[in-house]
Amino acid sequence: MNLALAGLIVLIIGDSHLAAKDFLLGSLHTALEAQGANVESYGVCGSAPHDWVAQTTLGCGRGERHGMGPAEIEPGKVRTWSLDALIRRHHPNLVIIELGDNMAGYGVLPDLLRDWIAQQVNELLLPVEADHLPCLWVGPAWGSEGGPSKKTYARVKELSEDLATLVSPPCHYINSLTFSQPGQWPTLDGEHLTPDSYQIWGNDIAGEVVKYAARLPRH
């Protein structure tokens, strides 16, 4: 069997979308493993890029998953991992970063804090650039407007357009907005998708990872 990602060590970090077993920690992780990758996934609820540098303490839990093992979920107040330390621990051939919604300021900020977002992104990507690692940055999905998250389609579109510019180089941007129409994927609260929606999103991301990996030198 010729698996598209055979031989690749893939390190994934993300926010709450990657911090629960029925979210991307299930669907994306499993889809990449099914293509032969050795996947190490880490997600921290509420996290933005700076948190993965400063190892801040956040209040809504974290999750991790390694290879074909089960998701390990730690609720409550937790500390964020360091991306630099995770790179040194796992020696990945590919880094995937899924971060965005927590920089949008839905319902709180009248405008995107563009300089702040750029500073956060640049700070996080320093170890990726230093090690010349192939990198994919997964942007946020549409979600649904309103709800507790106060998400809006205009703001998530604006954020996605900014991220596409800010993360490249060193990362290739995966625009999750192209996978569906606004509101097409049901959500739990406007921001977090239903398990079925996460399954679709995870599979769509994995498809883009396979395309990107086909251009990488094989080990």
- pLDDT per position as a tens digit, 22-51: 999 999 999 999 999 999 999 999 999 999
9-200: which CATH topology? Rossmann fold (3.40.50)
For 90-121, the DSSP string reads H--SEEEEE--GGGS-TTT-SS--HHHHHHHH
Q: Please, which pLDDT band fits residue 143 given cuts at 50, 70 and 90? A: very high
Torsion of CA 151, 153, 155, 160, to 10 degrees: 110
The secondary element (H helix, E strand) that includes residue 11 is: strand 9-14
Tell me, what's the pLDDT at 2? 66
Tell me, what's the pLDDT at 217? 75
pTM of the model: 0.97
Question: Who's near 98: CB < 8 A, 6+ residues apart?
Answer: 12, 13, 14, 15, 17, 18, 24, 43, 137, 138
> Which two tokens mark 50?
């700076």
Domain limits of the chain?
A: 9-200
Tell me, what's the pLDDT at 218? 63
Is the torsion defined by CA of 145, 149, 155, 160 positive or negative?
Answer: negative
Whole-number Cα distances in Å, 188 to 91, 99, 135, 200: 35, 19, 30, 15
Q: 171-212: per-residue pLDDT in tens?
A: 999 999 999 999 999 999 999 999 999 999 999 999 999 999
For 136-200, the DSSP string reads EEEPPP---SBTTTTB-HHHHHHHHHHHHHHTTTTEEEE-GGGGS-TT-S-BSSSSSBPHHHHHH
Question: Who's near 153: CB < 8 A, 6+ residues apart?
Answer: 142, 145, 182, 183
Q: 61-119: per-residue pLDDT in tens?
A: 999 999 999 999 999 999 999 999 999 999 999 999 999 999 999 999 999 999 999 99
Tell me, what's the pLDDT at 122? 97
Tell me, what's the pLDDT at 121? 98
> Which two tokens mark 199?
């399954």
Q: How far apart are CA 10 and CA 146, in angstroms?
A: 34
Tell me, what's the pLDDT at 117? 97
